[in-house]
Structure 1
Amino acid sequence: MQNKKHFIIGIDEVGRGSLAGPVFVGVAAVSKDGLLAIKNAERKFGKIKDSKKLSPKKRNEWFFFFKKNKDIFFNIKMMNPSLIDKLNISKSANILALRAFKKIVLNKKIGKMDYDVFLDGGLYLGNKKNIFEMNGINKKAKTIIKGDEKIIAIRIASIVAKVLRDSYMIKISKKYKKYNFDVNKGYGTRFHINAIKKYGASDIHRKTFIKNFVK
């Protein structure tokens, strides 16, 4: 009988501190063969790091590498600003983490395999117990402080979420030209804060995040 493949599943979020736009949570699953492929690819792309430590060019190179690799899987979930305001950012991100995780394990190549689940610090699978049921068995995920520095699957999730969220913010910046979302991606740069003070909030600003800037 053939041994089951083992997957490492990593989960990370992007856009937690942004003043505008959605929060994205990425989940990535990588097998031993996928990890070996990444190690070989580092000769071409350079060392894989957390998305914040990579240039946009490098993030995109890794993103397209992940898309093409048959031993790496990923999924993204997002939540809009109005729901973030209603729930708060931590609860929003944790709900997305659970949704994204459930989506990826529905993939037959992963759901029927052995896997371990790791989340970057501050994230939980729905709640701080980190316990989930799969195929009638209770399993426990692990939240790791600075997990993006320790677990490659979390780095993959971070890169995927960052690339897709940045792309989303660049796209919607055409509708909200006053705020330079294509440059700041919704984060609180001086230009962005001054634009909020001058023009007020748009419908994609997080009202609970900008109350100090709006009269």
Structure 2
Amino acid sequence: MQRSIQEIKRQLEKTSSPKDPFIKELQSDSRKGVQTLLEGFMKRIEKEKQKKAQFKKLSSYERYYRKQGYRAIAGIDEAGRGPIAGPVVASAVILSEKAYIPGLNDSKQLSEAKREELFELIHNSAIAIGVGMIHSNEIDEINIYWAAQKAMLDAVQHLEQQPDFLLIDAMPLTTPYPSESIIKGDAKSISIAAASIVAKVTRDRYMIQLEQKFPGYGFDKHKGYGTAEHIEAIRRLGLISEHRRSFAPTMDFL
């Protein structure tokens, strides 16, 4: 008895290999609807193959250092160096050797919805996550470079498990742990990419809450960056404690 199109569709959703006997059976089915479903299945398999290849490529640093004997490898990155309001946030993430989170990439290359999705996946599969947050008053005191570095060190200290190696996005850190700083590391290492997403989402959520506390500035939209809307809001409402007074153009309103 010939399978219905709906039965075939349901079965394909459960099938993960193009070598499955069921696929061979469909290849000999001349119905146009079946061949359309089969074509869609093959495209899905190819897309998943590409995701796995990309994930493997982004795991090269982790694989290299695991071969050197390191196990708890923490990726570190920060978010929020450029805005004129809000904190700089850093994250340290230790992923398990078996972790597979397709789609991991530099947080700046991802949509807000995708970052939120990956944020949850990272929290579900990470061995440990640490977050550091340095606020505007301290940023003004020590400058943004040192504030970002301090946030990274705080993130490492807040890890639930001690790392034995650090992969850091660009910035060198002085720590008791061996480390490597990687230029544009959030696009080259899964651990740094995961930290990038955690830092970005954590900071974005903070800024959304800030808009509820200080309505009218648009923090939920521009996240503290110096957009025309933000500058106009400062003109209307004035500066708040979250504004970085040492940054241009904020200092023009002092």
TM class by smaller structure: 0.7 to 0.9
Give 1 or 2: higher strand fraction: 1
Give the corresponding residue for 2:146.
91
Give the corresponding residue for 1:21.
86
Give the corresponding residue for 1:118.
167
What's the CA shift for 1:96? 1.7
What's the CA shift for 1:5? 7.1
2:133 counterpart of 1:78: yes
Give the corresponding residue for 1:63.
119
| Aligned match for 1:173, one of 211, 229, 242 | 211
Give the corresponding residue for 1:32.
97
Structure 2, unaligned stretches of length 5 or more?
Answer: 1-68
Residue-pair matches, total: 185
SS of equivalent residue, structure 2 residue 213? coil
- Root-mean-square deviation (CA, aligned residues, Å) is 1.8
Give 1 or 2: higher helix fraction: 2
Q: 1:190 & 1:213 partners in 2: Cα distance? A: 15
Q: 1:118 to 1:5 in 2, by over 3 A?
A: closer
CA contact (8 A) 1:66 1:73 kept: no
Amino acid at match of 1:54: L
What's the CA shift for 1:52? 0.9
Q: Which has the higher contact order (CA 8 A, sep 6+)?
A: 1
Q: 2:252 & 2:229 partners in 1: Cα distance? A: 12
Amino acid at match of 2:209: K
CA contact (8 A) 2:79 2:203 kept: yes
Q: What TM-score do you get using the length of structure 1 for normalisation?
A: 0.79
Q: 1:66 to 1:18 in 2, by over 3 A?
A: same
**Sequence identity (%):** 38
Q: What TM-score do you get using the length of structure 2 for normalisation?
A: 0.68
Q: 2:123 & 2:196 partners in 1: Cα distance? A: 14
SS of equivalent residue, structure 1 residue 173? helix
Amino acid at match of 1:52: K
Give deviations 1:127-178, integer Å, cap 9, x for gaps: xxx3x22xxxxx4322111111111111100101111111111011012112
Give the corresponding residue for 2:195.
157
CA contact (8 A) 1:193 1:213 kept: no
**Larger Rg: 1 or 2?**
2
Q: 1:175 & 1:100 partners in 2: Cα distance? A: 26
Q: 1:181 & 1:166 partners in 2: Cα distance? A: 9
Q: 1:211 & 1:21 partners in 2: Cα distance? A: 12
What's the CA shift for 1:212? 4.9
